[in-house]
Amino acid sequence: MRRLLLDTHAFLWWLADDEKLGPGARDAIADPTNRVFVSAVTGWEIAIKRMLGKLQAPDGLDAAVEQEGFVHLPIRFGHGEQAGALPLHHRDPFDRMLVAQCKMEALELVSADPAMKAYAIACLAADQ
């Protein structure tokens, strides 16, 4: 069993059945033996980018996490400490939180962002 954490774009690609989500990532997410997590930071990032006009996303994403059979991953205080202590390979605070959560919760990040590979976490390319 794999424990996958979806980066924001991977989550949105999955929900939209977007062809940008590659077959390897799609198969891993769809595999019923895997647990798929969506972080609270993803909801936060989507809401901010939606408000700024940088992103269009469907409503009801909180419920969509459960409808898809995914697991909500809350942000804990320790995640914040870990994110703040990471080297500055990536300056995006949302992505840094995902890295911290992967490290602390032993998760594999599903992301198309090559900058994530600079951290010592397991990554699955979302676009492959």
pLDDT band at 117 (very low <50, low <70, confident <90, very high): confident
The answer to whether residue 90 scores a pLDDT higher than 90 is no
Question: Residues 6 or more apart from 1 whose CB is under 8 A from it?
Answer: 33, 34, 35
Contact predicate 96/113, CB 8 Å: no
Higher pLDDT, 58 or 101: 101
Task: Provide the residue ranges of all domains of the chain, joining segments of one domain with +.
Answer: 3-125
Residue 82: the pLDDT is: 96
pTM: 0.96
Give me the sign of the Cα torsion angle 97, 110, 91, 51.
negative
- The secondary element (H helix, E strand) that includes residue 102 is helix 93-105
pLDDT band at 91 (very low <50, low <70, confident <90, very high): confident
Closest Cα partner for 55 from 41, 45, 64?
45
The answer to whether residue 52 scores a pLDDT higher than 90 is yes
50: buried, middle or exposed (CB in 10 Å: 19+, 13-18, 0-12)? middle
**In the CATH hierarchy, which top-level class contains the domain 3-125?**
alpha beta
Q: Which amino acid, one-letter code, is at 50?
A: R
Residue with tokens 């996490």: 65
Percent residues over pLDDT 70 in the chain: 100
pLDDT digits (tens, 9 = 90+) for 6-31: 999 999 999 999 999 999 999 999 99
Q: Which amino acid, one-letter code, is at 14?
A: W
Residue 75: the pLDDT is: 98
The answer to whether residue 67 scores a pLDDT higher than 90 is yes
